[in-house]
Amino acid sequence: MNSMQASFGGNQVNFHAADGSGYDLMSEQVLALDPINPQVAARIARNFERWKRFEPKRQGLMKAALEQVATVHDLSKETTEIVTKALS
Residue 6 belongs to some domain of the structure? no
In this structure, is the dihedral angle defined by the CA atoms of residues 29, 11, 59 and 21, taken in order, positive or negative?
Answer: negative
**Per-residue pLDDT tens for 56-71?**
999 999 999 999 999 9
Domain range spanning residue 65?
11-87
Over residues 44-52, the mean pLDDT reads 91
Residue 38 belongs to some domain of the structure? yes
Residue 67 belongs to some domain of the structure? yes
Residue 31 belongs to some domain of the structure? yes
Residue 5 belongs to some domain of the structure? no
Quick one: which of 86, 59, 83 has its CA closest to 69? 83
Residue 3 belongs to some domain of the structure? no
Total count of domains within the chain: 1
* Global confidence as pTM: 0.82
**Per-residue pLDDT tens for 11-34?**
565 678 889 998 999 999 999 999
